A and B are shown apart, each in its own frame.
Chain A
Amino acid sequence: MAERYSSFAPGGTAWLLQRITAAFLVVVLAFHFFQLHFVNHAAEVTFAGTQERMSTIGYFVTMVLFLIAGAFHGVNGVYNALVNQGLEGTQKKVVLSVLVLAGAALIAQGIYVAIAMAGWT
């Protein structure tokens, strides 16, 4: 195996987390699509229905983990894509800071929304 075409340097923590979140997302994203398009149709979503689902602790925790895994996987993926394109030095640090802030803001807002959906505000 002399040639590697992976976009990520293997062996690092981010590399491992990218793959762990991927495995989690494959399962939960499929569940999410199935739950909200095939079991419940998106056009029939109501706040009352969302609140009923989200007030179940297992569903709530799954959705929050889904959000965190998705945000990390996406933001880390974007960062690695940009590094692959040749991002270096100060630009690389600035981009990393912006992406970390954007990811953290997304997770914070998402958790706030999840709590509101569950009716715990």
Chain B
Amino acid sequence: MSQSYNRGLIEDFGRWKEFSAGMWAWIFHKFTGWMLIGYLFTHIAVLSTAIGAASGDAALIQQETDVYTTTIQGLESLFIVRVLEVGLLAVAVFHILNGLRLLMVDLGVGLSAQDKSFYASLVLTGVITVASVPTFMDGVGF
């Protein structure tokens, strides 16, 4: 079980032409991971307007014109932000589904179906993303 294995050129992006489900799953997982951690830093930066709102005039919070509310509602009124949110959902859903798939691979469960489970992750991500579009685009002309 614990014997070491030299992964060789698995991590070599130059092999992209030699299509294999496992390699693409690996590339997508890294790509979506980078997106998600990048988003987390951005997300906390935007939410940091809560510090200004909390220390500002309480009447502004009641009127919903504090800096936190206006920043978030201002961003949400932009079509491009909504599109990016749908993209974020797709990225997060794929990362979650592929992460569960990786857990199975790590545990040695269903190894023979590891390529099929990659395709299933892609299809399920697509279905969940499409199904979420009406909710995510609500109020911006979709």
Contacts and interface: CB of A to CB of B under 8 A. Distances in A.
Main secondary structure on A side of the interface with B? helix
A42 to B, nearest CB: 6
Given A75-B37, A106-B41, A110-B44, A48 B11 contact: no
A73 to B, nearest CB: 8
B33 A22 contact: no
Interface in A1-32: 1-7, 10-11, 19, 22, 25-26, 29-30
Interface in B25-81: 26, 30, 33-34, 36-37, 40-41, 44, 47-48, 50-51, 53-55, 61-62, 64, 66, 68-69, 72-73, 76-77
- Give the size category of B's interface with A: 35 or more
Interface in A85-115: 85, 102, 106, 109-110, 112-113
Contact of A78 (B26, B34, B50, B96): B34
Contact of B61 (A30, A47, A77): A47
A77 B132 CA distance: 27
A117 B52 CA distance: 10
A25 B142 CA distance: 30
From B26, B44, B96, name the one whose CB has the most chain A CB atoms within 10 angstroms: B44
Interface of A: 1-7, 10-11, 19, 22, 25-26, 29-30, 33, 37-38, 41-48, 50-51, 67, 70-71, 74-75, 77-78, 81, 84-85, 102, 106, 109-110, 112-113, 116-117, 119, 121
